[in-house]
Each structure stands twice: as structure tokens, then as C-alpha cells.
Structure 1
Amino acid sequence: MLKISHVNAFYGTSHIIHDLDLEIRKGETFCVLGRNGVGKTTLLRSLLGIGVRTTGSIEFQGHEIDRALTHDRARRGIGYVPQGREIVPGMSVLDNILLGCNARTDRKTDVPPLVWSLFPFLKDHLGRRGTNLSGGQQQQLAIARALATDPSLLILDEPTEGIQPNIVEDIERAIIALNRDHGLTIILVEQKIRFARTAAHRFAILEKGRVAAAGPTSELTHELVHRHMSL
């Protein structure tokens, strides 16, 4: 579904991602791991074309997208849940979700029923301001907004970071269900090894903007975690 070939990424003159190669298969959850500051978010922003200069090739569903604008990549079927959620202030829960519909090519402007089945809390609070929700509820809202784009690939940047424990489990279950029950391909940046092992089919560990280790999740050993992720 997604092929990343010899990709380098830069913020100004700072070289963050170095000659990266990855392939994401249709129908899998792929987990990107690594310490803070190794380039995980930069990699995701490179895939979306958000504020990063890149070289190399990014191919999505057979089409080169490395020169495409961000909204064009979204319309091709890439949904994104950013770190920090980025809920729009002053807008209701419903209006935040419907923002995602702007990326749809079928011009539908209704909320997918899947959103309500995964996050029933949101349906009961459509008129509330999104920024008045708790952190975990805002994360549910950010995922719902991404699902409203009708994506074939969903990219999530640390979706359980800073979330209250009682909602973390709901979000983890929702992510697993999106992949296992609904066939959505997922790229997941995550620090929780337990969740990575539960949710992902394959993984890559980044170190200094390069792939330090990769493979099926069954090969995500304690030794690898200790070597590349321990502080």
C-alpha cells in the first residue's frame, strides 16, 4: 500500500530522516518505535507533506505522492491523527468531526456510523466544544475526525500519550478493531511496547533518523527494546 524509498527529510538545514526505506502492506498495523527525538513524527509528517522538505520516493497505492500537496494526499485516502490532537478551538464536537469530510472525494458530509459504534460518548455530546473535553475524549474526537475522511490508511502519532488510564483501553481497543474488524491499514507511532506487541503485525525502530531494527512483531524482543529504546 505504501512504499518509502531512500527518503530523507529536513527542517531547514537540519537533516532528520536519513535514506529511509519502508513498505507498509495493505491490511496490517505497522508500528514505528524509538526514543524521543529520533525522527518518528518527522517521518509521519513527511508522509503527509506537512512542513518537511523531503527527497526520495513516497508511493501510495501505486501513485507517487512525494510532490503532492497535503490535502491531495488526504483525498487519496491518508488519514492523520497528530500528536497533541489539534482539536479546533471554539468548534463543537460535531463540527470538528465534519472537518474531516472536506477530504472526501465522494462529497459526503455525514459522520460514518463506525464513529458512533467506536466512540458512543461523542454522539451524546455533539454540541459541546471539542476543547472542553478531557484529553482522552479529545483523542477519541481526533480519531473520529480522521475517520470522517474515509481513509484507507490511518496514521496515528502516539494516540495514548498523556491519556487517562480508563480511556487508554478504549482507544487501544478501537485501534485494534479498526484494523482487525474493519480492515483499515494503520501506521502507529507508539512508546508502549505492550500495546505495540498486541496491535501491530510488524515494526520498525528508528534511531537517529534511520531504521535500527525491523521485522514481525514476534521479533520485538526485550533485548531489542533495551538496546534501542532504554534511556
Structure 2
Amino acid sequence: MKKYLILIDKSWLAQNVFRSVLSSSFEVDMGFHLEDINVLASEQKPALLVISENAHDEKEWLSLEKRRPLVKKIKKIFISKKAKAPGGFLLLKPPFKPEELLRLCDCGGDKKSKKKVAARSIKKNIGSKRAFARNILTTKVFFNDEIGNPLIYMNARDISLGGMFIEGGIPLKAGSLAFISFGIKGKPVTVTGQAVRVDDGGIGVRFMGLPDEARKLIGSYCANVS
């Protein structure tokens, strides 16, 4: 039986991203405000609290601790760019790899995928039976919140005008949307992506409404398949 975890974040995109990372190891309930902990913890005792900086209020938290002593006794993770976490919290600064959050939760997350494909075999498959030419792209891909703040990152494997394949174990549901950003030849690209294929090796992402500048950059990069 999975342990019960409460995730508090005011950003729905951040909630979806973090929940995708944690759901393989925990039963996750989500809220937007600290007060939601009272409701969520009324039936089950959480083993862990994960709270973001934008959902944290020091006075509100101290009040909650007094009324619900349980929150003092369990592990608490604070996701923030700040140099220091509130008392009793473990600090995790974004952007981070999904495995870092899982390790902090004491649930592993460092297992290597059995389905990773060697670079040599990737080259053979590029452009075969696909609508768009693909090229190998080894770069960090950031999953962002609504205002563009990077939350987590994984590594790209290849790219085309239609989308990209991202290596990693974040179990996004097929059809899920995400704001992602990455670089090609030192130039930044930000786009909305939709998960169209999810397996143990990673995520196949389709680009949605690719901006003209990004389309030209990716098209030029993929035209130079060696």
C-alpha cells in the first residue's frame, strides 16, 4: 500500500508536474493553500508534506502547527529558490531532476531505465517512417509553471518539427499538456507540448502551436541530419 502524501502549491501546472513525479511512489492529494491540509489530513495521516514557496505563509504555518501537531512530526519538503527553508523543512531548489525529489522522499528514484536506446541505434531510426525528419538532441528540457519558472528538468534524446522524445521516468498521462523550454545551438525555445506516448524509456511529446521562430530553428537543425 502506498504512503499518503499531501502536496500544496498554488500553481496547477506545478501541481500536475510534481504529482506526476510522486504518484508512482505515493498516494497524492493536492491543495492550493496551507489550510487545505486540515481537510486533506482529516481522514488519513500523511507520511509527507511537500509545500512550495508560493503556497507558504509563515504566520499561517505556525498557526497550523499549533492546531495540528501532526505536521510537526512528519517529513516536510519545501520547494523554493530561497537559500534557507523554514524550520523543520528540507529544502529543494528548482529546477531539479525528478529523481532528486524522490530521493528526498526516501523512495529511490535513481533506477536506470531498461529501455534506453544507444545513440548508434537512434541514428539508424531518425527519419524512418516519420512525417518529419528527426535529429539527435542532447539537452536539458525544463517543465515550467504558468509564468515560465522552471520546475523540473529531464534530458532530450531527439527532436523534429513535430515533437521530441524526452528521457526520464516522470509518468505524465498521455494527453497531458506541459509548458517546456530547451535550447538549440545556444538559442532558447519555449513551447507547449502534449504527451502522446509514455513508457519506461521516457515521454514522446508533440509540439502544439510551434512559434515561427522556433519552427525555423528546429527545421534548420533537423535538416542537418548526419
Q: What TM-score comes out, normalization by structure 1 length?
A: 0.28
More strand per residue: 1 or 2? 2
Greater Rg over alpha carbons, structure = 2
